[in-house]
A and B are shown apart, each in its own frame.
Chain A
């Protein structure tokens, strides 16, 4: 959608016709395109420093990463960025042939989807539980944020300590008659990741839900209560429709964040990571900075990005970020 003159009042902005100046637009005092009548004009040059920096620190490295993916770049050829042998798609074929890449993609996808799926009911219930006022609600709300705001490296460190074979987590499980066993190595490491990340990330869904619920007018709750709607009906017909949009964003963002999470698996499980929990970011890191196969690592990260684009495009569509200025 094209954007109305910068100075248009918000309500006028919302109706502004896209592109061609319609009669409504022409009738406004700022009919000169984009507020030209004001001294100073449009200071678009203000964007230049940011644009330059973005190109320098993101666009150029990004293009380089794609380029390196076609090179046989390792620790011996590291300093010959422009003379390292060009091997075309060999890094890609090697990545897929070795099987490690597909394995990591599977692990990361399963990890991010499962963790998001587990965070959803927890975060939702938490938001529902603190919707009505009660004594101490402020404290509870702050406490709910704690797992999320603690730095991931600390979360990982603490859980690494708790999940030792003779650690407190297994003692806790023993209360329920469950034998925990080894969490940080072997097959169970994957579940250790899911458990810890769910523990750390549910408050994000909680926050997104809370943010969405703030927009639901009180009258709706009152009307539903007056109609005698039970709590399940109220959640289904009042709350869920009201937060649908926000919740969808939360789920997409959370899937992306889990997929890209490097810190938690790296610090929780150490390096080299157990095969059952070798997520894509850790695999790329190990390939690049422990085996010094920069070309292969780059190719893998390109594939990782392509995979992330799928939920990311949905996210961009859903969030309508490009809404015109003043439209909100």
Chain B
């Protein structure tokens, strides 16, 4: 491959001075193999979709390919488990946490990204450090506090939606604040400077300049913080009751229940899995540029 071209007869396609696709880093055969193998590795996702439209009897009998496709699983699953309630519970808890975290985080993110103050470095480090605290370590004292306080005031707090939302804030606030800081850093300061020279005060700048410029970043922050909540199993497992179960908990309970049944309802289980992941996958696909961009911003400062 690296053979120097003979001066008189350069090889076809390798004229000196012209490089054919220097961006291609792998030889074509390897590039194709990697892409094909990785796409094939997505088979479980396709299989999940296939099983979700297969008759339960055939899946239960160990048949790999259904003899016919049915949509009945998508109808039946809504009554087999209270999927609608679960979806609403998941949406309310994770969206509330995402919005609260973003609104609260904005003020802090502005200070962290634009101002100099004592303790700024430790604050930024803490935001990342908090995200490393194991969930098991946070849920335990919260559970103890919620059940003690609930007993003291005579209102059971465990199982209530607001309790779950407060718990979700433990990861949503550091996460959202951090995302907002990285977002703000990408907005040039020149608009703010111009506005301040024109006599706008800090608060005016925040309201009239930063806020509109940050709206897309805030939307992304709400979405990403929300998705973390949507995926939670640990907190919801401890803090919800059948009325407030999130869809993750419902699915897990349905899974364990149906496996031991006489006829496992795998078709419905896969239908429910698809239904509960569809909104997440859709949102990630819409915001995938920001997802990768955000990761880049986290480390570019080296």
Contacts and interface: CB of A to CB of B under 8 A. Distances in A.
A12 B54 CA distance: 64
Interface string A137-174: 00011111111011111100111111000101001000
Interface in B142-177: 142-145, 147-148, 151-152, 166-167, 169-170, 173-174, 177
Contacts of B189: 6-7, 9-10, 326
Contact of B174 (A42, A58, A325): A58
A62 B38 CA distance: 41
Given A78-B148, A231-B1, A325-B114, A308 B134 contact: yes
B231 A152 contact: yes
A152 to B, nearest CB: 6
A251 to B, nearest CB: 11
Nearest to A284: B136
A64 B107 CA distance: 28
A162 B147 CA distance: 39
Contact of B115 (A266, A321, A323, A325): A325
A46 interface: yes
Given A199-B44, A231-B27, A281-B136, A319 B299 contact: yes
A64 B301 contact: no
B38 A126 contact: yes
B153 to A, nearest CB: 12
Contacts, number: 360
A316 B130 CA distance: 12
A245 B23 CA distance: 21
Interface in A305-328: 305, 308-309, 312, 315-316, 318-328
B115 A6 contact: yes
Contacts of B201: 38-40
B99 interface: no
A212 B193 CA distance: 31
A324 B104 CA distance: 22
Interface string A44-86: 1011111101100110111011001000010000110100000
A90 interface: no
Interface stretch (A95-103, A109-117, A296-304): A296-304
Contacts of B292: 207, 210-211
B47 interface: yes
A16 to B, nearest CB: 9
Contacts of A44: 111, 115, 117
Interface residues of A, number: 129
B285 interface: yes
Interface residues of B, number: 120
Contacts of A175: none
B141 A222 contact: no
A305 B269 contact: no
B116 A38 contact: no
A50 B105 contact: yes
The DSSP consensus for interface residues of chain B is helix
A61 B170 contact: yes
B25 A304 contact: no
Contacts of A239: 25
Contacts of B128: 312, 315-316, 319, 321
Given A142-B285, A325-B116, A328-B300, A211 B295 contact: yes
B202 A266 contact: no
Nearest to A235: B25
Contacts of A328: 185-186, 297, 300-301
A27 interface: no
B80 interface: no
A154 B140 contact: no
A294 B140 contact: yes
B125 A65 contact: no
Cβ-closest 9 pairs across A and B: A3-B116, A46-B107, A40-B202, A211-B296, A40-B201, A301-B137, A64-B141, A50-B108, A132-B24
9 contacts: A2-B116, A42-B111, A47-B107, A47-B108, A128-B25, A147-B42, A207-B295, A218-B22, A281-B234
Interface of A: 2-7, 9-10, 34, 38-44, 46-51, 53-54, 57-58, 60-62, 64-65, 68, 73, 78-79, 81, 122, 125-126, 128-133, 140-147, 149-154, 157-162, 166, 168, 171, 199, 207-208, 210-212, 214-215, 218, 221-222, 224-226, 228-231, 234-235, 239, 245-246, 249-250, 256, 260, 262-263, 266-267, 270, 280-281, 284-285, 288-289, 294, 297-298, 301-302, 304-305, 308-309, 312, 315-316, 318-328
Interface of B: 1-2, 4, 17, 19, 21-27, 30-31, 34-35, 38-39, 41-42, 44-45, 47-48, 51, 62, 64, 104-105, 107-108, 110-117, 120-121, 123-126, 128-130, 132-138, 140-145, 147-148, 151-152, 166-167, 169-170, 173-174, 177, 185-186, 188-189, 192-193, 196, 199, 201-204, 206, 230-234, 237-238, 248, 251-252, 255-256, 266, 269-270, 273-274, 276-277, 280-281, 284-285, 288, 291-293, 295-302
